[in-house]
A and B are shown apart, each in its own frame.
Chain A
Amino acid sequence: MNINRLSWLNLISNPFNTMLSLLLMGFGIGIISLLLLLNNSVEEKLQRNLKGIDMVIGAKGSPLQLILSSIYHIDNPTGNISINEVNKIKSNPMISSTIPLSFGDSFKGFRIVGTTHQYPKLFQANFKSGKLWSKSMEVVVGSDVVEACQLKIGSTFYSSHGFIDGGEVHSEFAYNVVGILSKSNTIIDQLILSNSESISKVHNHKSDPSHEHEGVEGSCSDDHSEMITALLVKFRSPIGLIKFPRQVNETTNLQAAVPAFEINRLINLLGVGIQSINMIAFIIIIVSGLSIFISLYNSLRRRRYELALMRVHGATRFQLVRLVFQEGMLISIFGLVFGILFSRIILYLVSLFIHHNYSFYSIQLSLIKEELWLFPIALFVGFIASLIPIIQAYRINIPKILSNV
């Protein structure tokens, strides 16, 4: 028998109060932990795909849409741009390199992107098997696509129009898999890559003018010059970032968007929501502190005689303080552990449902840096909640309690 065991027994012999405090603490911590994990994983994913891309050029429209569609491949493209116009810009000395992207078709929901060999290089993609495409209709597929569509080297498939599975199938030309990439945890895992000519080829045979295309529709317009969907640009120096986009937007029919700015804007927009959920979680933690306080306070009132008796048996003031303090702390610590586990379980369940679609939900089981803040927060709340009961236990007036029979 000792103080540790006694505080433990006191907790479990009052299961409802203990559970309530524990659940409140656990949910508060869990929600914050969940937000931190999601935030962390989304931000990291967003940043990782931005590497080496200073600016994106595409058709006029929403700059955020341009970024989302051409870098993250999660929105529809703003339209097409003619390669002639793009070439005028490309020669600018501020630009160090460019990568063209053409897209508008998909296979089983995975986008087919026509580009150059520079694009996979940008993501430092490695080959699991096979090689880069060398002629039209040859494709290299990302790891998630391979997994979901059961493709292998030599497989062939037809693309369908648009980005949703079930669109009109372009059944004249079949794509042929020549390379499979290993997992890189970037957007390229979810893409099917080919050269730009393949994309045009699939579309160019069409002559039906009523056929409406979003994305690559060069073939359907009157202008028969080659079209692309977007151009990824890298500058020689950061100065380009300041002058160039403005120049493009003001003097040409094209739109230039800087991904870093747009993503910041997006995170700020999301931030309002995240902040209010955070606020709610903090309120839950404070309520859990109150619940710990009330349950300790009540149980101390009931146990006044008990504490006096322990003092009579020889307990020091410090031992009583330790007893009460430990009860408060145990709830906080268990609540903390429960909360951290809770967020992992939720994240795991979410990841089971959301398969490949933005694959922002890779599960992170280890603690992340930001979560370490939850430890002092939980302990502090437990401490504050136990403070008044601790003072009561310290100042307990034994003669008064015992003679008050």
Chain B
Amino acid sequence: MLKTESLSFSYDTSHVFDFPDIHLNQGEDLLILGDSGVGKTTLIQILSGLLRPQTGFVEMNGTSLQDLSSKSLDQFRGSHIGMIFQQSHFVRNLNILDNLLLSLYLSNKKQDKKRAIHLLQEIGLANKLNNMPDELSQGEQQRAAIATALIKAPNLILADEPTSSLDDKNCKKIITLLKDQAALTNSKLIIITHDQRLKDQFKNSVVL
């Protein structure tokens, strides 16, 4: 379960972001819609423990993120949260398969090569295992980035604008993929975006 209460954050005193409370059970998904400048990225960083909120708290599966030291927070994030960004990032000197294995290594999970290959096959990158990230198309890169987040079977998938740079066809594909994979591992899925195309695809949504 994911629970937040009265979260707020400000970069300077003149403007304070206040965020609505979130309650999300295992296997549920949530769409958070908002225009630029309303603190979408800030919220996602608070949820992932990259930023500490000024008020309120985030609690995940009984663990309160505030109580963790920064080192244990790194480890908690690594093993429980999979993050996806608008721009897909990779370790450039590793091929796609190694990027997945590195993600497992850094989250202290077993480097299961078979499972990594299987996942890449499922998302249609079976023939790109040994390609370097730069050699993939944008749509493929986004899918591969999703795979690096999903390979560790995270408890919570946090996606920051995963579709805004994609065309309609790829957008639909990615959302289906995210939903399917989240269902498969019974993960919670939160998508934060200004992309209005996604509105119809989620029952649960909050507007910032």
Contacts and interface: CB of A to CB of B under 8 A. Distances in A.
Is chain B found bound to chain A in the same assembly?
yes
Interface size class of B (residues with CB under 8 A): 35 or more
Contacts of A308: 89
Nearest to A306: B91
Contacts of B91: 6, 306, 309-310
Contacts of A315: 74, 78, 106
Interface in A382-405: 398-399, 402-403, 405
B69 to A, nearest CB: 11
Contacts of B86: 405
A402 B192 CA distance: 14
A32 B93 CA distance: 35
B68 to A, nearest CB: 13
Contact of A316 (B42, B45, B74, B98): B74
Given A319-B106, A398-B50, A403-B41, A6 B83 contact: no
B89 A314 contact: no
B170 interface: no
B15 interface: no
Interface string A302-323: 0101101111111111010000
Contacts of B117: none
Contact of B93 (A2, A10, A309): A10
A324 to B, nearest CB: 14
Contacts of A92: none
Given A310-B106, A319-B106, A403-B41, A1 B92 contact: no
Contacts of A399: 41, 45, 50-51
B50 A313 contact: no
A86 B14 CA distance: 104
Interface of B: 41-42, 45, 48, 50-51, 70-71, 74-75, 77-79, 83, 85-87, 89-94, 98, 101-108, 111, 148, 152, 160
10 contacts: A1-B94, A303-B92, A306-B91, A312-B78, A314-B77, A316-B75, A317-B70, A317-B71, A402-B45, A403-B45
